[in-house]
Amino acid sequence: MPSADVSNRSAVAVVGLGYVGNVVAASLAAAGRHVIGVDRRPEVVASLEQGRAPIREPELQERIDAARALGTLRATTSLEEAVAASCASLVCVGTPLGDDGKLDETDLLAACEQVARAVPAGREHVIVIRSTVSPGTHGRLGAHLASALGAAFGQQITLALNPEFLREGSAVADLERPQLIVYATEHDAAARFCEALYADHAELLQRTDPASSEMLKLVNNAWHALKVAFANEVARAAAPAGVDPFAVMELLCRDTKLNASAAYLRPGLPFGGACLTKDVASLSAHASRHGVDAPLIGAILSSNRAHLEHLVEAVLAHEPKQTAIIGVGFKPGAPDVRDSAPVKLVRELLDRGVHVTVADSAVLDARVPPLGLLALQQALGDPRAQAAPTVAHAVAGADVIVVGHPCRADRDAIVALEPTVPILDAGGELTRTLSDAERERLAPVVLIQH
């Protein structure tokens, strides 16, 4: 393989030639970027230097062949050599699961420090972490590098996160034809590098904060695992009824408006309404009745209850004596309060000795008897809760205001009143509709962020 021009400072080092590192190195080099792969295993380096893919992966050998023809890819066991010839290092070191159930980031952190120390004096270098890491890694590593390097960190040497979303068996395609590219950094130089690196996919590039970037990769894989486990539980529950689980799941996935979509994937209040709780309980009971172990389905209601308890404790942390709860429908603007999470929140607070007043314009304006205040009182189903005819009446005397599922009229009333007591936006429904100026005046606290 012809040697790449390693004096080209646009070259990048790919540190760690495991599954991710090989794919990243070969793809970048095939696209014309000078790449120096680094690995401490001589046999892996030798394989790449000889033009052979060290791992079996569709399209990988073709990318290595293309890079070989261009003279843009080489490999070495010398980290110092690679860093000295590069403007950035993409760190793809493995982070296996440790015996304590946490990601073992020992090799990753060591590699990042070694890269930083190998940068020639006065040269700028960007360290980009592509490895899977736990939330807080960027902060810990940044603090360590700042202590070790002094003023050079953040100036000559900068840090970014760029999580990979690659699947074995389609890793090259996933890298080159992505749906989303995420990066995070606190340094302008690192941001410029990431934006230049993905210039061909600028419309897919999303900058976020480091902790969100770290969390996203773990959440992605947890979501994929959840889908697999759910489909398998459906299969087990379907068998006693003589139902084809493949047919059920295929039909489920055809609905891309509600099922295979972003619907229901926004954090907020616990679910409620006439259907969800009832039908989840029914499916769980069916599985149990037939001796089918379906812990995931069985845990859905427990998880929903845990989220309600979280909200209750978040409200109680403010030590309220009188609380106003605005918006008690099972979803925003709905007059239907069947199995409503805000109503459950009302009852929980009452049971804890908090005086509660409630307002909900959508329930008050319902056109099905009972109407008005009677409708709201019956919806609450608890004489201890005081139904108010307006938001103004409800918040009078309250030392905390909790916003549940407000309709537009409730939202406008809160904005007009500009309460001086804390506003706890339990599901974030109010905050999402406020202008920047309104948000600054009201300063609502979104409880699901704590």
Residue written as token pair 């080159």:
176
Name residue 212's amino acid: S
Torsion of CA 429, 186, 214, 79, to 10 degrees: 170
Rounded CA gap, 328 and 405, in Å? 6
Spatial distance between the Cα atoms of 271 and 151, rounded to a whole number of angstroms: 50
Q: Residue 8: is its pLDDT beyond 70? A: no
pLDDT at 233 over 70: yes
β-bridge pairing 125-129 and 88-91: parallel
* Residues 242-272 pLDDT 10s: 999 999 999 999 999 999 999 999 999 999 9
194-230 residue pLDDT tens = 999 999 999 999 999 999 999 999 999 999 999 999 9
Cis bond upstream, residue 342 (ω within 30): no
Mean pLDDT of the chain: 92
Domains 12-208 and 308-449 share a fold: yes
Q: Rg of the chain over CA atoms, in angstroms?
A: 28
The domain ranges of the chain are: 12-208, 213-265, 308-449
The CATH topology of domain 308-449 is Rossmann fold (3.40.50)
Rounded distance, CA 54 to CA 48, Å? 7
Average pLDDT over residues 345-365: 93
Mean pLDDT of 265-282: 91
Q: What H or E segment, with its residue span, contains residue 387?
A: strand 386-387
The answer to whether 141 and 112 are in contact (CB under 8 A) is: yes
Q: What distances in angstroms separate CA 262 from CA 102, 166, 257, 274, one per listed residue? A: 29, 21, 8, 22
Phi, psi of 60 (to 5 degrees): -70, -45
Q: Is the pLDDT of residue 335 over 90?
A: no
pLDDT for residue 449: 57
- Range 122-131 average pLDDT: 96
pLDDT tens readout for residues 66-81: 999 999 999 999 999 9
Whether 402 and 326 have beta carbons less than 8 Å apart is answered as: yes
CA torsion 339→342→343→346, rounded to 10°? Answer: 150
Average pLDDT over every residue of 38-60: 95
pLDDT tier for residue 3 given thresholds of 50, 70 and 90: very low
- For the annotated catalytic residues, the residue numbers are 275
Q: How far is CA 399 from CA 57, 257, 356, 418, 444, in A?
A: 61, 41, 11, 14, 14
Quick one: average pLDDT of 318-325? Answer: 96
Contact 270, 304 (CB under 8 A): yes
Q: Which fold is adopted by the domain 12-208?
A: Rossmann fold (3.40.50)
> pTM for the complete prediction?
0.86
